[in-house]
Amino acid sequence: MQTATATLEQRRTPRPRADALRNRERIVTAAREMFVEHGPEVPLDDVARRAGVGNATVYRNFPDRDALVREVVCSVMDRTARAAELALAETGDAFEALERFVHASADERISALCPMVSSTFDQHHPDLEAARERVERLVAEVMDRAKAAGQLRDDVGVGDLMIAAAQLSRPPAGTGCVSADRFVHRHLQLFLDGLRAPARSALPGAAVTVEDLRRPCDQ
């Protein structure tokens, strides 16, 4: 359980000095912005310039590109998980908590960053698995609470929500179509309204689970 709840701070041991920590955060923030804009192959020298640090500082924190991409994806998942935790703690209305989480995930551009996982490095790295499991657990908790309140239709699963939210909050990294961002929250809200109970129609097939998402395409 401790591994599944690892956070960005817990991955950093021993804890660096305050200035070193600030530099690391600046690098991760700059990399996140540039990966969304240009994809994961953006030159690390460009990341260093945007972060306002030297190249040596980037490589001292992240020995290779995979390490930086992984940290960016994990940090986004951590912030998304915190958004779910806040929604659960602060919102009395279960469906409103679900809405807040979905819109916060879109703001993090998680749909643009997560495809980098399968294309650049080991999907089973312990940091990545811990961050992913934390998000999945919290999404399930948010959805279960909305279902228990009779606000969320029963025939949708965590996988359904994750697929639709990812598809609707694209374009992914490197497309250059960031102007489409202005439509994201509008279309997500249309989707969320379709999740409300009582359902107006029966969905074909079965609810999509997290296990379904991880199953190889040929199975």
| DSSP-assigned letters across all residues of 173-209 | TTS--GGGHHHHHHHHHHHHHHHBSSPSSPPSS-PPP
pLDDT of residue 193: 92
Looking at this protein, which amino acid is placed at residue 7? T
1 falls in which pLDDT band (50, 70, 90)? very low
Buried/exposed code over 156-181 (b: 16+ C-beta within 10 A; e: otherwise): bbbbbbbebbbebbbbbbbeeeeeee
Mean pLDDT of the chain: 81
Task: State the Cα–Cα distance between residues 195 and 200, nearest whole angstrom.
Answer: 10
219 falls in which pLDDT band (50, 70, 90)? low
Looking at this protein, which amino acid is placed at residue 67? A
pLDDT of residue 111: 67
Percent of the chain exceeding pLDDT 70 equals 79
Tens of pLDDT along 151-207? 999 999 998 998 888 888 765 444 455 555 677 888 889 989 999 998 888 888 888
Mean pLDDT value across residues 19-36? 89
Name, in order, each residue with C-beta under 8 angstroms of 115's C-beta and a sequence gap of 6 or more.
172, 173
Percent of the chain exceeding pLDDT 90 equals 27
Q: Which of 208, 215, 219 is nearest to 139 (CA)?
A: 208
Q: Verify cis geometry, omega within 30 degrees of 0, for the bond prior to 16.
A: no
4 falls in which pLDDT band (50, 70, 90)? very low
- Token pair listed for 31: 């990399």
Task: State the Cα–Cα distance between residues 214 and 157, nearest whole angstrom.
Answer: 14
Q: pLDDT higher for 27 or 83?
A: 27
Residue 57 has pLDDT above 90, yes or no: yes
pLDDT of residue 121: 61
DSSP percent split of the chain into helix, strand, coil, nearest 5: 65, 0, 30
Least confident stretch, 25-29, 42-46, 170-174, 186-190: 170-174
pLDDT of residue 125: 82
Give the count of beta carbons closer than 10 Å to the beta carbon of residue 21.
Answer: 14
- Token pair listed for 106: 């879109």
68: left (phi over 0), alpha (psi -120 to 50) or beta: alpha
